[in-house]
A and B are shown apart, each in its own frame.
Chain A
Amino acid sequence: MSIEVQGINKFFDTFQALHDIDLTIPDGQLTALLGPSGSGKTTLLRIIAGLENPEQGRVLFNGRDVTQLHVRDRRVGFVFQHYALFRHMTVAQNVAFGLDVLPRKERPSKPEIRKRVADLLEMVQLDHLAGRYPVQLSGGQKQRIALARAMAMRPEILLLDEPFGALDAKVRKDLRRWLRNLHDELHFTSVFVTHDQEEALELSDQVVVMSNGRIEQMDSPLELYARPDSRFVFEFLGQVNVLSGKISEGTIRQGNAWVRLPDSCDNDDAQLYLRPHEVRLTQAPTEEAHLPFQIEAISVIGAEVRIELKPDGWACDELWEVGISHTEFNARRPQRGDRCYAVPEVGHLFCDHQAVPKTLDWSVAR
């Protein structure tokens, strides 16, 4: 079932939580609403569910206007961040709740409900816990039960509010993968809210980046990472290294740092954004770039070695970060305090007088 959101405005007293939100979520896709806290992503999810009412705008399911439809009639599955399991009911009773409260005419018979509950518990691989109470479960188990409960009504839309937010890293990863598999198997339309960019990029078919009640960008994870529309999206999706300066004669300069741009650019104030993996470290400057640094810190983190760099003879708001492989690290053994130079390979240029950033690729020019 596709979801369409048209021109939604939402106020809390005088604070406008959502500004003119337009959004289309195709049938069967897994979509992430990504943004920092206060960006309106949870409010948007709750409006889709019917738990909040927008002041303006419409929500459509498969082209049918459901804006005025009460939550209980929208038939969406909703999963809460803190599970919201009913504490006085056993796991089985929790899962059966939606079926139990159906009007008598539509309610399946007792044995049928039992069968459905058993199937659902099997689906979430927790059939052995049917008789337990929620307090006896771990966080990951609780969330899976909450999911089974939401799925009991066979909703065509599943909405999840920070579903993994309260879980520890390992469980989180398992559950993410498991949800992805479940989604691929059952093909419902799902939307989940998260503030974790890694989670959004890993799990979803489509990511909607939000900030301050507006949609910043909506794209597939790959496109979003490779071609962010704005500085906000770029910064929110991961670590960035920034050189802000002035462009003249095809070169961006600040202090003693400069980078020759591979494409022609108008003279302007501009920022060059580079991801940690889009930068190489060298012992000497090249003819394309002169970005002198001093090594501030070296941390060996999992698969790669992260090197923090302090600009030498120019300035930036935050330290640069470059990731190098262990092989490269072992070959050169850089030390704290060493001088080195950064050479960009791919970069994104945001000019003050241009709305759209420009993706630069030095390897093509070379």
Chain B
Amino acid sequence: MSTTDTSGRPAKRLSTSGTKRVLPGFGLSLGISLFFISLVLLLPITGLVIRAGGMGWEQFWFVVTDPRVVASYKVTALAALAASLFNCVFGLLMAWVLVRYEFPGKRFLDAIMDLPFALPTAVAGITLATLFSENGWYGQLLSQIGIEVAFTPLGIVIAMAFTSVPFVVRTVQPVLEELAPEDEEAAVSLGASDATVFRRILFPTLWPAIVTGGALSFARSLGEYGAVIFIAGNSPYVSEVISLMIFVRLEEYDFPAASAIAAVVMVTSLILLLVINVWQGRYLKRLNGG
């Protein structure tokens, strides 16, 4: 935070100095932003690491490799993967419909796309659990063809998919809106079929946005608690998610163990987002230069 405007030099000097920024308020706004980020993000994360760090490496390893916890990693990761893959496809479709076609109710549909974010996750969880339970609307129909959703890993997938679909829609939508129709027209005038245009022209352009949306969706699903907990059934080794394991440790007043598991989730999410960002940065650089 150092610009000449805090140095108190006379105005005349300032206007002639080369480092003077045109946009005002850089120091103040950056300062507040950093302070806030420290307060709401860095501080709790540091606390978490310190808590988990207090327990020693061996004990840490013991806690995070407990068979029941490991099973919950698997369940959570697989369910989150399935949910985010589903969201990549469905979210792309939604974004496509919202951008490419005109139909009555389009704006309404666009608005309710954000509902999963606005809805308290517990509300979503209870609603989904009710709908998919054996005598719920969907559950009844599905049980007739032998599919059980509530209180199985499939239920976890559905809850995760529901709460994180806006990530994909909202990252793909603006990219799709900015696509120039000329690219598609050029491809068609060169003889490409509609399927080829999508595969070779549209998809490569949308790909970074889809991956980002998918990664956000995945990261969010890893930590989803409220929506999942009501529909998951929570039977050990089968349908327990990580966030539940953390909660269980907390209930046992085993704070270091809870922190240790939480740290594993956090590091995984961070690494994932970092990798995606680096990869995307490279891909976009090839497209847009820089």
Establish whether residues A153 and B191, one from each chain, have CB atoms under 8 Å apart when the complex forms: yes
Which residues of chain B are near A72, meaning CB under 8 Å?
188-193
Establish whether residues B191 and A102, one from each chain, have CB atoms under 8 Å apart when the complex forms: yes
Establish whether residues B288 and A82, one from each chain, have CB atoms under 8 Å apart when the complex forms: no
A residues 80-102 near B (Cβ < 8 Å) are 80, 82, 84, 86-88, 97-98, 101-102
Give 1 or 0 for each of A48-77: 1 = CB within 8 Å of chain B CB: 011100000000000000000001111111
Cβ of A109 within 8 Å of any chain B Cβ, yes or no, is: no
Cβ of B204 within 8 Å of any chain A Cβ, yes or no, is: yes
Give 1 or 0 for each of B243-271: 1 = CB within 8 Å of chain A CB: 00000000000000000000000000000
- Nearest neighbor of B189 in chain A, beta-carbon distance: A78
Which residues of chain A are near B183, meaning CB under 8 Å?
84, 86
Inter-chain CA distance A72–B204, complex, in Å, is 21
Which residues of chain A are near B190, meaning CB under 8 Å?
72, 97-98, 101, 149-150, 152-153
Inter-chain CA distance A102–B200, complex, in Å, is 13
How close is A107's CB to chain B, nearest CB, in angstroms? Answer: 11
Give 1 or 0 for each of A130-148: 1 = CB within 8 Å of chain B CB: 0001011000000000100
Inter-chain CA distance A353–B240, complex, in Å, is 93
A residues 250-306 near B (Cβ < 8 Å) are none
Which residues of chain A are near B186, meaning CB under 8 Å?
78, 80, 84, 86, 146, 149
Which residues of chain B are near A71, meaning CB under 8 Å?
185, 188-189
Which residues of chain B are near A80, meaning CB under 8 Å?
182, 185-186
Establish whether residues B191 and A101, one from each chain, have CB atoms under 8 Å apart when the complex forms: yes
Give 1 or 0 for each of B187-212: 1 = CB within 8 Å of chain A CB: 11111110010001100110000000
Cβ of B289 within 8 Å of any chain A Cβ, yes or no, is: yes
Which residues of chain B are near A86, meaning CB under 8 Å?
183, 186-187, 200-201
Inter-chain CA distance A86–B183, complex, in Å, is 7
B191, B204, B289: the one contacting A98 at CB < 8 Å is: B191
How close is A337's CB to chain B, nearest CB, in angstroms? Answer: 42
How close is B245's CB to chain A, nearest CB, in angstroms? Answer: 42
Cβ of B41 within 8 Å of any chain A Cβ, yes or no, is: no
B residues 270-290 near A (Cβ < 8 Å) are 286-289
* Given the contacts A80-B182, A88-B204, A101 and B193 also touching, CB distance less than 8 Å: yes
Give 1 or 0 for each of B57-85: 1 = CB within 8 Å of chain A CB: 00000000000000000000000000000
Which residues of chain B are near A97, meaning CB under 8 Å?
187, 190, 192, 200
Establish whether residues A51 and B189, one from each chain, have CB atoms under 8 Å apart when the complex forms: yes
Size class of the contact patch on chain B: 20 to 34
How close is A206's CB to chain B, nearest CB, in angstroms? Answer: 23
B180, B188, B196, B287: the one contacting A82 at CB < 8 Å is: B180
Give 1 or 0 for each of A106-127: 1 = CB within 8 Å of chain B CB: 0000000000000000000000
Which residues of chain B are near A73, meaning CB under 8 Å?
191
Inter-chain CA distance A223–B172, complex, in Å, is 54
B189, B193, B287: the one contacting A76 at CB < 8 Å is: B189
Establish whether residues A84 and B192, one from each chain, have CB atoms under 8 Å apart when the complex forms: no
Which residues of chain B are near A74, meaning CB under 8 Å?
189
Most chain A beta carbons < 10 A, residue from B187, B190, B204: B190
Establish whether residues A136 and B289, one from each chain, have CB atoms under 8 Å apart when the complex forms: yes
How close is B283's CB to chain A, nearest CB, in angstroms? Answer: 8
Establish whether residues A84 and B188, one from each chain, have CB atoms under 8 Å apart when the complex forms: no
Inter-chain CA distance A3–B194, complex, in Å, is 27
- Nearest neighbor of A74 in chain B, beta-carbon distance: B189
Establish whether residues B286 and A88, one from each chain, have CB atoms under 8 Å apart when the complex forms: yes
B residues 12-29 near A (Cβ < 8 Å) are none
How close is A103's CB to chain B, nearest CB, in angstroms? Answer: 9
Inter-chain CA distance A76–B191, complex, in Å, is 10
Establish whether residues A87 and B189, one from each chain, have CB atoms under 8 Å apart when the complex forms: no
Which residues of chain B are near A76, meaning CB under 8 Å?
189
Which residues of chain B are near A133, meaning CB under 8 Å?
286-287, 289
Give 1 or 0 for each of A202-218: 1 = CB within 8 Å of chain B CB: 00000000000000000
Establish whether residues B287 and A88, one from each chain, have CB atoms under 8 Å apart when the complex forms: yes
Establish whether residues A101 and B192, one from each chain, have CB atoms under 8 Å apart when the complex forms: yes
Establish whether residues A87 and B191, one from each chain, have CB atoms under 8 Å apart when the complex forms: no
B182, B200, B288: the one contacting A84 at CB < 8 Å is: B182
How close is B218's CB to chain A, nearest CB, in angstroms? Answer: 24
Which residues of chain B are near A84, meaning CB under 8 Å?
180, 182-183, 185-186
Most chain A beta carbons < 10 A, residue from B182, B187, B193, B288: B182
How close is B138's CB to chain A, nearest CB, in angstroms? Answer: 40
Which residues of chain B are near A136, meaning CB under 8 Å?
289
* Given the contacts A51-B185, A71-B188, A87 and B193 also touching, CB distance less than 8 Å: no
Which residues of chain B are near A78, meaning CB under 8 Å?
185-186, 189
How close is A17's CB to chain B, nearest CB, in angstroms? Answer: 17
Inter-chain CA distance A72–B201, complex, in Å, is 15
Which residues of chain A are near B189, meaning CB under 8 Å?
49-51, 71-72, 74, 76-78, 150
B187, B192, B288: the one contacting A135 at CB < 8 Å is: B288
Which residues of chain A are near B187, meaning CB under 8 Å?
86, 97, 101
| 9 other A-B residue contacts (CB within 8 Å) besides A97-B200, A98-B191, A150-B190 | A50-B189, A72-B191, A78-B189, A88-B204, A88-B287, A133-B286, A133-B287, A152-B190, A153-B190
A-B contact pairs, 14 of them (CB 8 A): A71-B189, A72-B192, A73-B191, A80-B185, A84-B182, A86-B183, A87-B288, A88-B204, A97-B192, A97-B200, A98-B191, A101-B191, A133-B287, A135-B287
